[in-house]
Chains A and B, each alone.
Chain A
Amino acid sequence: MSAIRVSELHKSFGDLHVLRGIELEIRSGEFVVLLGANGCGKSTLIRCLNGLAQPDRGAVEVDGLDIGRARGRSLSRARRQIGVVFQHFNLVPNVSVFQNVLYGALGQQPGGLARTLPAFAPGNLRNRAMACLERVGLAEHASQDCRRLSGGQQQRVAIARTLLQDPQVLVADEPVASLDPRAGRAVMELLVEIVRERGMTVLCSLHQLELASEYGDRVVGMKAGRIELDSGRNPVGKSAMAALYQGVVRVDDALPEDRTHAVAQSA
Chain B
Amino acid sequence: MNELQGMSDPKPMATDTTPPQRFRRPSPLLWVVVPVFLVLLIQGVLVMEITPTRLASGAVNLMHFIGRAFPPYLSDLDVIGWAMLETLYIALVGVTAGVVLSVPFAFLAARNTAPHVSVRVVTRFLIAAMRTIPDLVWALIFVVSVGLGPLAGVLAIVMDTIGFAARFFSERIEEVHPGPSEALTSTGAGRLSVIGGAIMPETLASMTATSLFSVEKALRSAVTLGLVGAGGIGVELAAAMRLFNYDEALTIILAILICVLGFEQLSSAIRKRVI
Contact = CB atoms under 8 A, between A and B. Distances in A.
B227 interface: no
A90 B201 contact: no
A212 B3 CA distance: 26
B76 interface: no
B179 A95 contact: no
B201 A113 contact: no
Given A248-B4, A250-B7, A250-B9, A86 B188 contact: no
Contact of B192 (A80, A92, A113, A252): A113
A137 interface: no
A113 B196 contact: yes
A104 B187 CA distance: 6
Contact of B188 (A95, A107, A113): A107
Interface string B196-209: 11100110110000
Contacts of A104: 187
Residue of B8, B177, B180, B183 contacting most chain A CB atoms (<10 Å): B183
A94 B184 CA distance: 15
A135 to B, nearest CB: 18
Contact of A94 (B3, B179, B190, B205): B205
A139 B34 CA distance: 66
Interface string A78-95: 111011101011111111
B187 A248 contact: no
A77 B184 contact: no
Contact of A106 (B3, B8, B182, B189): B189
A64 B182 CA distance: 23
B4 A80 contact: no
B1 interface: yes
B184 A92 contact: yes
Contact of A92 (B3, B188, B202): B202
Nearest to A73: B190
A158 B4 CA distance: 33
B197 A113 contact: yes
A210 B9 CA distance: 29
B185 interface: yes
B27 interface: no
Report whether over half of chain B's contact residues are helix, strand or loop; otherwise say mixed: helix
Given A91-B180, A247-B4, A250-B7, A103 B201 contact: no
Contact of B184 (A78, A103, A224, A250): A103
A224 B190 contact: no
A78 B187 CA distance: 9
A76 interface: yes
B176 to A, nearest CB: 10
Contacts of B183: 84, 86, 90-92, 103, 158, 161
Interface in B1-43: 1, 3-4, 7-9
Interface residues of A, number: 38
A50 interface: yes
Given A113-B196, A248-B7, A250-B9, A106 B187 contact: yes
Could you say which interface size class chain B belongs to?
20 to 34
A82 B180 contact: no
A104 B186 CA distance: 9
B193 interface: yes
A86 B184 contact: no
Contacts of A89: 179
Contact of B190 (A76, A78, A84, A250): A76
Contact of B187 (A80, A91, A94, A224): A80
A76 B201 contact: no
A79 B9 CA distance: 42
B7 A116 contact: no
A76 B188 contact: yes
Contacts of A52: 182, 185-186
Contact of A224 (B4, B9, B188, B204): B4
B179 A90 contact: yes
A79 B7 contact: no
Given A94-B204, A252-B9, A112 B179 contact: no
B6 to A, nearest CB: 11
Contact of B193 (A79, A83, A93, A106): A106
Interface of B: 1, 3-4, 7-9, 177, 179-180, 182-190, 192-193, 196-198, 201-202, 204-205
24 contacts: A39-B4, A52-B182, A77-B188, A80-B188, A82-B186, A83-B186, A86-B183, A90-B179, A90-B180, A90-B183, A91-B183, A92-B198, A92-B201, A93-B202, A94-B202, A94-B205, A103-B198, A106-B189, A106-B197, A108-B188, A224-B1, A224-B3, A250-B8, A252-B9
The 5 A-B pairs with the shortest beta carbon distances in the complex, nearest first, are A107-B188, A90-B179, A90-B183, A106-B189, A79-B188
Given A94-B202, A116-B197, 8 more contacts: A79-B187, A83-B186, A90-B180, A92-B197, A94-B204, A106-B197, A116-B193, A247-B4
